[in-house]
């Protein structure tokens, strides 16, 4: 028999290293002879869209088009430390570092522009970055700025439990509709609703992709993925045994982006790298409970495990 159920789950997630650990991102920005803005950051792109978002932040801070920004990253020869691509921190932390460095560079440019116009007796007009570079170069001035951002976190007070261990927090509320085959134990996720707090959406399309990828990971966590660790040895060490969801397993996903500007974020943005997967698993398992009346206490909820839990539930019902 196939039964359907619905479940929801809400989570909150603290961005960054947390608990007072120094969480610093450094950035440098300069204008080159072609009039481009070169942005140097050690932020690593691992598929989360950091290069796109950081370039957008730089363009906004400089007041130029995205085509004028050249992001230089992942090169220890020339890029300053931006911390790890972890803890959903790059958009927030390094985004702030990029914003501050570019704002400092923009102030330098403004000074050169005003002086150049004054010296030339020119009518007030906006110069392009190539003109400004040439004017600064003639005076021996390098249009280069450096700045950093440190996240505001404080270690927890052991006596009273007070403190700001993380900042900011990102919130999620996800819903799932599933169908459970009570004879085989197979669970099919039919529909997902993902309501995600993002602060300010710098790139909505990237956010939607992140939500869908995060839900896929959460679904794999809930239903499929099992390392089968035995005596320190991973038994399921390849994808013929370690099962992950494919595109054919994915449900229809409705992504709802909630924008509540984070005052300390770069133009109000928060990081959402990891938060997008957290609520998926409990939402799915709550839907399984709604459908089959069984609480899952061990992951993944494989068909064999679900059948076992259903049988135990039936036996307990008969006893009572």
Q: What crossing angle do the helices spanning 129-138 and 95-120 adopt, rounded to 10°?
A: 70
Residue 8's SS3 state is strand
6-42 in b/e burial notation, b at 16+ Cβ within 10 A?
A: bbbbebebbbbbbeeeebbbbbbbbbeeebbbbbbbb
Please identify which of the residues 45, 179, 274, 312 carries the catalytic annotation. Answer: 274
For residues 132-144, one letter each, b for 16 or more C-beta atoms within 10 angstroms of the residue's C-beta and e for the rest, the string is bbebbeeeeeebb
Active site residue 274: yes
Asked if residues 275 and 10 have their Cβ atoms less than 8 Å apart, the reply is no
Collect all residues with Cβ–Cβ distance below 8 Å to 177 and sequence separation of at least 6: 4, 5, 6, 189, 190, 191, 192, 251, 287
Q: How far apart are CA 247 and CA 211, in angstroms?
A: 14
Question: From CA 6, how far away is CA 265, in angstroms rounded?
Answer: 35
Residue 52, both tokens: 């796109």
Residues 79, 129: Cα–Cα separation, whole Å: 22
Secondary structure tally for the chain: helices H, strands E: 7, 10
Residue 27 CA from chain centroid, whole number: 19
Judge whether 90 and 48 are in contact, CB under 8 Å: yes
Catalytic residue IDs? 274
């Amino acid at each position: 028999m196939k039964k359907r159920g619905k479940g929801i789950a809400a989570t909150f997630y603290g961005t960054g290293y947390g608990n007072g650990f120094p969480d610093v991102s450094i950035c440098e920005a300069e204008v080159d002879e072609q009039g481009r803005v070169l942005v140097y950051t050690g932020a690593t792109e691992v598929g989360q869209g950091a290069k796109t978002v950081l370039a957008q932040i730089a363009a906004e801070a400089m007041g130029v088009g995205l085509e004028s920004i050249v992001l230089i990253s992942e090169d220890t020869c020339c890029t300053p430390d931006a911390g790890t691509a972890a803890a959903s921190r790059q958009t927030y932390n390094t985004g702030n570092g990029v914003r501050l460095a570019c704002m400092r560079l923009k102030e330098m440019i403004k000074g050169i522009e005003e002086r150049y116009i004054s010296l030339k007796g020119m009518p007030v007009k906006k110069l392009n970055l190539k003109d400004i570079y040439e004017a600064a170069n003639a005076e021996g001035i390098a249009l280069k700025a450096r700045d950093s951002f440190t996240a505001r976190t404080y270690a927890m007070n052991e006596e009273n439990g007070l403190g700001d261990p993380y900042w900011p927090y990102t919130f999620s509320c996800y819903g799932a509709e599933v169908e459970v085959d009570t004879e085989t134990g197979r669970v099919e996720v039919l529909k997902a609703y993902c309501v995600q707090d993002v602060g300010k959406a710098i790139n909505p399309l990237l956010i939607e992709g992140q939500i869908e990828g995060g839900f896929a990971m959460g679904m794999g966590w809930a239903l499929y993925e099992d390392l089968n660790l035995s005596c320190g040895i991973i038994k399921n060490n390849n994808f013929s045994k370690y099962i992950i969801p494919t595109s054919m397993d994915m449900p229809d996903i409705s992504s709802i982006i909630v924008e509540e500007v984070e005052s300390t974020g770069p133009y109000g943005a928060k990081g959402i790298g990891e938060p997008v997967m957290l609520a998926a698993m409990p939402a799915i398992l709550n839907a399984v409970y709604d459908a089959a009346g069984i609480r899952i206490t061990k992951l993944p909820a494989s068909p064999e495990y679900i059948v076992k839990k259903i049988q135990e539930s039936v036996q307990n019902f008969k006893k009572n």
